[in-house]
Amino acid sequence: MIVATFYRWLPSGDAEVATEDGDLLQVTAQLLAASAFRRLRVGQRLAVKLSPTGIVISIDLPN
């Protein structure tokens, strides 16, 4: 898992998070709905797990 920071909501209901390296990753609305993160705030820290192709597959609280 990598640490990321919530950046913004997209019009589709998806969210964008920024990694510590400055990369923006998209978190789908379906993934958010299945997690404990229904309301994210700008600057909130998350732990993000990526698939081998770089797609966000899970989010959690950072350690």
Region 1-12 average pLDDT: 94
Domains of the chain: 2-60 (2.40.50.140)
pLDDT in tens, 10-49: 999 999 999 999 999 999 999 988 887 778 889 999 999 9
pTM of the prediction? 0.84
Separation of alpha carbons 18 and 27, rounded Å: 11
Task: For Cα atoms 15, 16, 22, give the angle at the middle one, nearest 5 degrees.
Answer: 165
Name the nearest CA neighbour of 30 among 10, 7, 9, 14.
Answer: 14
pLDDT for res 34: 86
Q: Residues with Cβ < 8 Å from 33, sequence gap 6 or more?
A: none
